[in-house]
Amino acid sequence: MVNSQSQSTQGQTYDLIIVGAGVIGAWTAYKAGKNGLKTLLVDAQKLGAGASGGLLGALMPHMPERWDGKKQFQFEALEDLPREIAQLENETGQDCGYNQCGRLAPIMNETKRGQMQGHGANVDEFWHGRYQWQIVDQPFEKDWPNADKATCGLVYDTLSARINPRGLLNALKAAIAHDDKITLLEGVALESYDAFKKQAILSNHEKVLFSHIVLSAGVQTFDFIAPELKVVTQALGKPIKGQAAMLAADIDPNWPIVFDNGVYVISHGSGKVAVGSTSELEFADPFTTDEKIDDAILRARQLCPLIKDAPVIEKWAGLRPRAAGRDPLIDIMPEHRNVIVSTSGFKITFGVAHKMADVAIEHILGDLKTVVPDSFKIAAHLAKARRAEKQDNLS
């Protein structure tokens, strides 16, 4: 790999340019190299500098009910992720912090308990009986979570997992660094591209040529594609601010994630526990932590008293892309089959990014094998965006 500004790309031709080196872009570059594609990966900051560089790392499946293509796609991705991570760790010697530790979620009332019990049959069907879905009446361990949260029981599933976001990104960067098919330019943004001429202008004023381009620049991707789709950017997708924190607490790394009413508590091992996160539609400063994460920390301490005195060692804030339909957006542009959009995912991105990368590479190779839900495609997102525009005009 050629990194940063050590080599000029002026006038060079690439099989693939990837714009944005978050977790989706990094997985896509990694898999492009595996397929022998000469690849240029550019990021306006550095690999993992955006929303992907957070702290939480929760990998949780959707509820096993009202099964649809999105849930199937995510299930297949979560099932395949351990193999993908093992291969990446073997190649790089880097620890991604993956652990299929499961999840505990308090049940709010007896009516909800009955509903949760009813999902057992769904798990047998949709999860193929390979994972547990149980109603338990006691915390996993004392105060994990607070027994007061278990008065109506807890749902325990064994499909949920956690990963160290920065550990995964470091491993992907290390793998990319050993692949001479891939050039990584950090601190270089995409200024513009012309799909017909197959050329891109970078912020370092260099012009590069490409066969295909993947737009995986998070929130900025909506800015790139909205004009061509003739829709207002904010209707197509919006940034959602998230805040999280890391606490110093020596909790068994094999203990399950605890999740309750939007609050996560995740033991990452090495004396660290991640808590969060917020989902803020309105915010003054996207990258500054404030009282909202302090409130989430307080709620996490109440949820899991074992961390009630754990000191905070880091707070983090960043922006996540949420497309109009909240689903991932992975598709080719309508008028340009050499332009692939791969972004969003919102809360499930880390669990599906490797599979989104597969879809992008299959589009490039002209052999789409992965079943992509209609709700992930541009047409579905565009329809929702236009409905949102119409509603705004009526308002």
Domain boundary among 272, 292, 320: 320
In a shared domain, residues 183 and 282? no
Domain boundary among 260, 290, 320: 320
In a shared domain, residues 211 and 358? yes
In a shared domain, residues 151 and 22? no
> Domains in the chain: how many in total?
2
For residue 94, tell me if it sits in a domain: no
In a shared domain, residues 335 and 199? yes
In a shared domain, residues 243 and 261? yes
Rounded to whole angstroms, how far apart are CA atoms 24 and 273? Answer: 25
In a shared domain, residues 148 and 293? yes
SS3 category, 119 = helix
Q: Look at strands 161-162 and 154-157 and give their pairing.
A: unpaired
Rounded to whole angstroms, how far apart are CA atoms 103 and 58? Answer: 10
Helix (H) or strand (E) holding 245: strand 237-248
Domain carrying residue 204? 2-53+167-237+325-394
Domain boundary among 277, 303, 320: 320
In a shared domain, residues 247 and 300? yes
Asked if residues 254 and 101 have their Cβ atoms less than 8 Å apart, the reply is yes
127 to each of 36, 65, 131, 284, how far by Cα in Å? 34, 11, 7, 42
Output the domain CATH number for residue 137. 3.30.9.10
For residue 229, tell me if it sits in a domain: yes
For residue 83, tell me if it sits in a domain: no
In a shared domain, residues 233 and 252? no
In a shared domain, residues 151 and 190? no
| DSSP-assigned letter for residue 113 | H
Residue 1's pLDDT is what? 44
In a shared domain, residues 298 and 330? no
With a cut of 50, list the residues of the chain below it in pLDDT.
1-5
385 to each of 2, 342, 346, how far by Cα in Å? 39, 17, 16
Residue 2's pLDDT is what? 44
For residue 343, tell me if it sits in a domain: yes
In a shared domain, residues 247 and 203? no
Residue 7's pLDDT is what? 67
